[in-house]
Amino acid sequence: MEALRAEILYHNSRYYQFDSPEISDADYDRLLRELIDLETRYPELAAPDSPTQRVGAPPLDKFGAVAHLAPMLSLANAFSAEEIREFDRRCRRWLGSETAVRYVVEPKIDGLAVNLLYERGALRVGATRGDGSVGEDITLNLRTIPAIPLAIPRLENDADRKESEAPPVSERIEVRGEVCMEKEAFRKLNRRRVEEGEVPFANPRNAAAGSLRQLDSRITAKRPLTTFCYAIGTAEGTLLRTHAEVLRALASWGFRVNPLVETVTDIEECIRYYHRIDALRAELPYEIDGIVIKVDDLALQERLGAVSRSPRWAVACKFPALRETTLVEDIIVQVGRTGVLTPVAVMRPVRVGGVTVSRATLHNQDEIDRKDVRIGDTVVIQRAGDVIPEVVEVVKDMRTGEERPFVMPETCPECNSRVTRSEGEAAHRCIGMACPAQLRERIAHFVSRGALDIEGLGEKMAAQLVAAGLIGDPADIFCLSKEKLLGLERMADKSAENLLAAIDRAKRPPLDRLIFALGIRHVGEQTAKRLADAFASINALAAATVEELKSVRDIGPEVAASIAGFFREPANLGVMDKLRRAGVNAREAARQKAASLAGKTFVFTGTLSRMSRSEAKALVESLGGAVGSSVTKTTDYCVSGNEAGSKLEKAKQDGITILDEETFLALIGGGKE
């Protein structure tokens, strides 16, 4: 269990701290599941800081109050290069320094400040900033965030301390950072919320705030939160001398520290850094709203002190907001895969932060009502990084009285079917089974990357095929012929052949992708994986009762009902049947042998001659085995190819069974299909 824990923690740090995972999500899940199983069987051996302890706890009535050991200050702002230079002059005047002061420059993360108190290496309390002295106790929520270590190694200097010296009275350290949600994760979350008829979050920061303020930490656990840590509050017994050392120490203890941090030797470099980061802003996967300049030397920080709750040794330099005003020329409605109608503002094109914007989502009728957006209104729009632009507010002073309120159409703009809105849902839906817009979106989903992944069949082609009447449901893709394709605009011989070949290759998808491709409501990639693990085939899944579905990990009553409902729908059964007849079937062959390597972990070293590393890995996994990146106590086999490296040495030392390529192929039953 200890080895497994260490392995999981290692992969956590690869993923959350360094953004460079070495194993797939499925492999990671397997490791985690193994640990959960062991902890259930041997609860007395479960460590309090085990990576399994992040799933959330029963809800609270309210958050408690926590006093921070050291106050959480806020930052003074500088709004121009001149004000940045003024900050530098002030620092030097105060320090009586003729020479330059060294600074650390960092991106200013747009999230929520938190304080993490560790006692003897264990996370004890996590709190919001509150009024700077007292915050709210959100420990249970913060414990669910993978990037926050539940335990940190004892302080470095403590480890160096001689046995004879007295240990520090209490080993307490406050780590400070910003909790945020990355843009991509935010988009996914909002998309799901809209699909499910919930109100979307306005921006990643609100999404992070809403997620952190949950009394039920099990909800927080499902939200994709992360952190960047940038300071230490109280640190009893540390011997760190500079802010740069603080950041290095934080990273070495397992905290996520922003990779763009730099140490610079004069204020002009800070100004150049500001412009560099501003230019980079749109490309960053998370939102920032400026940079922070900090005096590097902690002794100098101490001498500078604070004035009215802001330190004199640091300053925030905000970027101009990515906001503009423009005119709403029209409000149109888009129809999604599940029939949800999304109102979209069509605006007079305007440049915001270097990008021309002419459309902004209005989410749903409730949002339009809440903001009172009308056609003809002048509105403030906001583009946060590359997130879809949003209407922030209406400039009411600009109204002429000519503006027209928007009302959701009663019939679908694409197919004229009735539009309905269920009790308690924000979303309006088109109920038309043959709605071309829904069909287009469903097909686009069916062939998309995480689904059947058909090369050359993107959104545009899907729309073209639907418009030409060549396909009426996803199964029709497999009934396409060269003649039919050649009738399409700008479709040449060669591209038709390529497309048909790609379609043919997609006939044997892994089960989880086929399940995901069906577009069952509430069944995302993760849920599809769980279902594929639990059911041997699509037929078995289709036959499952709600009770059986509910017994699958992570599947609740709502999702179970949605799946069962999907397979009761005659039209869907028709499509399933058509797929089968077209020869589309999940790779069941591999699954039948599935048990043969179950529970076995392989590590590869050196080059294999008959297949690539990733093919070998896929083979092992298809037979139920796992592939580790390094030799640990849980490794069962080390497969040694040409020019094997240090892993082979380690495996020999640890007495692990070593297989050459031939023996490996024999073990997995003859190699490739």
Which residues contact ligand IVH (rule: CB under 6 A)? 73-75, 106, 108-109, 113, 129, 178, 230-231, 292, 311, 314, 316
Residue 132 near residue 72, CB atoms below 8 Å: yes
Considering only CA atoms, which of 128, 134, 124 is closest in space to residue 112?
128
If the CB atoms of residues 75 and 668 are measured against ligand IVH, the closer one turns out to be 75
Task: List beta partners, residue 123.
Answer: 118
Q: Cβ neighbours of residue 419 under 8 Å, at least 6 residues apart?
A: 341, 408, 409, 410, 411, 412, 428, 429, 430, 431
Q: Cβ neighbours of residue 500 under 8 Å, at least 6 residues apart?
A: 480, 481, 482, 485
If the CB atoms of residues 146 and 177 are measured against ligand IVH, the closer one turns out to be 177
Catalytic site includes residue 396: no
Residue 126 near residue 148, CB atoms below 8 Å: yes
If the CB atoms of residues 209 and 491 are measured against ligand IVH, the closer one turns out to be 209
- What is the spatial distance between Cα 101 and Cα 92, in angstroms, rounded to a whole number? 7
- What is the spatial distance between Cα 432 and Cα 570, in angstroms, rounded to a whole number? 15
Return the residue nearest ligand IVH (CB atom).
113
- What is the spatial distance between Cα 213 and Cα 141, in angstroms, rounded to a whole number? 8
| Least distance from ligand IVH to the Cβ atom of residue 181, Å | 14
Considering only CA atoms, which of 473, 469, 468, 471 is closest in space to residue 489?
468
| Least distance from ligand IVH to the Cβ atom of residue 310, Å | 7
If the CB atoms of residues 106 and 137 are measured against ligand IVH, the closer one turns out to be 106
List Cα–Cα distances, 352 to 17, 323, 385, 518, in angstroms: 32, 6, 10, 38
Residue 75 near residue 129, CB atoms below 8 Å: no
| Least distance from ligand IVH to the Cβ atom of residue 290, Å | 8
- What is the spatial distance between Cα 639 and Cα 169, in angstroms, rounded to a whole number? 50
Residue 264 near residue 105, CB atoms below 8 Å: yes
| Least distance from ligand IVH to the Cβ atom of residue 82, Å | 20
| Least distance from ligand IVH to the Cβ atom of residue 314, Å | 5
List Cα–Cα distances, 160 to 165, 167, 444, 616, 654, in angstroms: 11, 11, 59, 44, 29
Helix ranges restricted to H, 196-242: 204-212, 217-222
For 352, the enclosing helix (H) or strand (E) is strand 340-352
User: Between the CA atoms of 148, 154, 157 and 159, what dihedral angle is there, to the nearest 10 degrees?
Assistant: -140
- What is the spatial distance between Cα 147 and Cα 13, in angstroms, rounded to a whole number? 8
| Least distance from ligand IVH to the Cβ atom of residue 44, Å | 40
| Least distance from ligand IVH to the Cβ atom of residue 187, Å | 22
Order the strands of the 262-264 sheet from edge to edge.
77-78, 314-318, 288-295, 103-109, 262-264
Strand-pair category, 262-264 with 65-67 = unpaired
If the CB atoms of residues 78 and 427 are measured against ligand IVH, the closer one turns out to be 78
Residue 238 near residue 77, CB atoms below 8 Å: no
If the CB atoms of residues 88 and 106 are measured against ligand IVH, the closer one turns out to be 106
| Least distance from ligand IVH to the Cβ atom of residue 129, Å | 6
If the CB atoms of residues 205 and 617 are measured against ligand IVH, the closer one turns out to be 205
CB atoms within 10 A of CB 347: 24
For 354, the enclosing helix (H) or strand (E) is none
Residue 233 near residue 68, CB atoms below 8 Å: yes
If the CB atoms of residues 75 and 471 are measured against ligand IVH, the closer one turns out to be 75
| Least distance from ligand IVH to the Cβ atom of residue 87, Å | 14
Burial class (CB within 10 angstroms; exposed 0-12, middle 13-18, buried 19+) of 400: exposed
Task: List beta partners, residue 311.
Answer: 306
- What is the spatial distance between Cα 476 and Cα 468, in angstroms, rounded to a whole number? 13
| Least distance from ligand IVH to the Cβ atom of residue 186, Å | 17
| Least distance from ligand IVH to the Cβ atom of residue 182, Å | 15
- What is the spatial distance between Cα 530 and Cα 538, in angstroms, rounded to a whole number? 13
If the CB atoms of residues 75 and 173 are measured against ligand IVH, the closer one turns out to be 75
If the CB atoms of residues 292 and 477 are measured against ligand IVH, the closer one turns out to be 292
Q: Cβ neighbours of residue 262 under 8 Å, at least 6 residues apart?
A: 104, 105, 273
Which candidate in 62, 108, 162, 578 is catalytic? 108
If the CB atoms of residues 314 and 608 are measured against ligand IVH, the closer one turns out to be 314
The one-letter amino acid at 491? M
Residue 627 near residue 23, CB atoms below 8 Å: yes
For 164, the enclosing helix (H) or strand (E) is none
If the CB atoms of residues 74 and 572 are measured against ligand IVH, the closer one turns out to be 74
| Least distance from ligand IVH to the Cβ atom of residue 460, Å | 40
What are the catalytic residues? 108
